[in-house]
Structure 1
Amino acid sequence: MDISNTDIKRGSIMNIDTFKMVIAIVQTGSISGAAQQLGYAQSNISAKVHQLESELKTTIFYRTNRGVVLTPDGKKFYKRAIEIVNLTEDTIHQLQSPTMVAGDLHIGTLQSASESYLPPILVKYHHKFPRVKLAIATGNPLENIHQVLNYELDGAVVGENVDESELESIPLTTEELCLVSASPEIPDLDHTPFLVFSPGCIYREVAEDWLKSLNKTMHHPIEFNYLDGIMASVCAGLGIGIVPKHKAELFAKEKLVYMTELPKEFSSIQLSFIYRKDYVINRPFSEFVNVLQK
């Protein structure tokens, strides 16, 4: 299906609300989720989807027991819907307030970057552009990357060089890492539990690569979903972990943990900002990138 050559007839369902409906279905994963988000009856959403598919003479969604999945044509439509909604909203903002930057900006980030690197940038950006509605999501880098690829986040700060042909990457800064433990003695890497984030986290990957270089494997990993939980558990003697040095120093000053330097090749990671290459860049996003690069 070539969306650009689709014959749109008078009385067509094709409008900005339809595009937003499809976006909501994709990002919530179901018609019922979209209905709840948009405040419509589920039967109304289902009827509009059927009408849209009939008008386009194609199938937008596969229906499954777990929700809906985009078809190949649906993926093309979803991409175009994102572009149209972004362009429409940005155009309205620019026409209504040509000298004012306004709109929405959704950014993903590592937890550590949200505590150290991003706050001064966000403060500067918010002071300069107070009309932009900022939303910051911290989470697993793999989830952030997936959400950027799926147009759910405008961009994300990640701690690795992402090998994705669809993504643009802007190097930001380096983050120093170290090993933390509750004892001043070098930990027994063969028997001490490692406190880690879920698979996909760069800190966990560094720990695994370091151990592999020593011909060791990670002993009894215990997974956490937030950095403070790891630090508190290290303090309590539950295990050891590889964490950002700036975070470890706060606890080390109080003698709550002890820091062990890592070999040079494992002692830092590159923070980068990623976004889709085909992203329709609006003013809130372009100004955010300007602040990042300065």
Structure 2
Amino acid sequence: MDTNLLKVFITVAKTKSISSAAKELEFTQSNVTLRIKQLEKNLGYSLFHRTNRGVVLSNEGEKLYPYAIDILKKIEEATVQMRNINYQDVLKIGSTQTFTTSNLMPIIEQLNEDFEEMKLEFSVDSTLNLTEQLLDYKLDIAFINGNPHNKDLEILNVFDEKMVLVEPLKKQTGNTVFVFKKTCANCIFLENYIKENREESYKTVALENYELILGCVKAGYGVSLLSPKIIEKFGYTDYVKQTEIENYLDTHLVCRKDYLPVIHKYLRDISL
């Protein structure tokens, strides 16, 4: 449907006058009349009733009017978006809980300083769920644990993620593995590590609060796998034993290959 014809139709409907519409559109009256007739011919209906005082919408015109308004609005929105395609309006960011707590804030502050007009939206979840959100185009980028090895995803950046096994400093260690979520990559990694390095069997308990996890470890109830930055943030550096874990999964900043953020070059160079 020709949007130019719809614009003429809307103007005539608003002004209730061919002459007034022609003046507003800077057309001749005959041009406006011709365009209305063309639209009526295309649709197969009369859109106006002619009266001595001007024109009024017919039943069919009344039905078309809200659709015409909506169509033009969508066209205008699309035009604005395409004109600003080289500008990142909104950046939808996904991040694991660990990376969010230990490292995300400096990156947010850097983005806010360098792109003051850009809005940021966040999703904090497990690596598995964040990957699914990326593949469903619900996120622009995501900070996840390890290389996803997915043909549809591209790695923009890699951040070293130092992680330590956290145990009681003085008390005997209980046979419990404390994790933030049982579905997170940290949980899977720690469970495998314990199986390979400890003879005792451990049960896994999810506590979605890092301070609570650290408190339980300090009290001797079990072990956990955390970033030293998180331990320091909650003031437990001098109260728990920390053993660095080798070959832990680094944090990868990823996006869809067919949906690169406008600022992807900037994101490739960003550092902590």
What range is the shorter-chain TM-score in? 0.5 to 0.7
2:182 aligned residue: 199
Give the superposition deviation at 1:282: 4.7
Letter in 1 for 2:203: H
CA contact (8 A) 1:176 1:246 kept: no
Find the aligned partners of 1:91 and 1:120 in 2 and give their Cα distance: 31
1:230 aligned residue: 213
**Stretches of structure 1 lacking an aligned partner (at least 5 in a row):** 1-9, 12-85
TM-score, scaled to structure 1: 0.58
Q: Which of 84, 91, 94 is residue 82 of structure 2 equivalent to?
A: 91
1:221 aligned residue: 204
CA contact (8 A) 2:171 2:220 kept: no
Aligned residues: 198
Letter in 2 for 1:239: G
Identity across the alignment (%): 20
1:162 aligned residue: 148
**Stretches of structure 2 lacking an aligned partner (at least 5 in a row):** 3-76
Give the superposition deviation at 1:215: 6.0
TM-score, scaled to structure 2: 0.62
CA contact (8 A) 1:90 1:282 kept: no
SS in 2 for 1:222: strand
Give the superposition deviation at 1:112: 2.5
Q: Which of 238, 250, 255 is residue 270 of structure 1 equivalent to?
A: 250
Aligned in 2, Cα 1:263/1:179: closer, same or farther, shift over 3 Å? Answer: closer
Letter in 1 for 2:255: Y
Matched, 1:127 2:105: no
Aligned in 2, Cα 1:183/1:146: closer, same or farther, shift over 3 Å? Answer: same
1:25 aligned residue: none
CA contact (8 A) 1:157 1:272 kept: yes
**Structure 1 residues 135-144 or 152-161, which shifts more?**
135-144
Q: Which of 172, 193, 200 is residue 158 of structure 2 equivalent to?
A: 172
- Superposed CA RMSD in Å reads 3.1
| Pairing 1:19-168 to 2, within 5 Å after superposition | 90-94=81-85, 101-168=87-154
Letter in 1 for 2:189: V
Aligned in 2, Cα 1:147/1:225: closer, same or farther, shift over 3 Å? Answer: farther
Give the superposition deviation at 1:247: 1.7
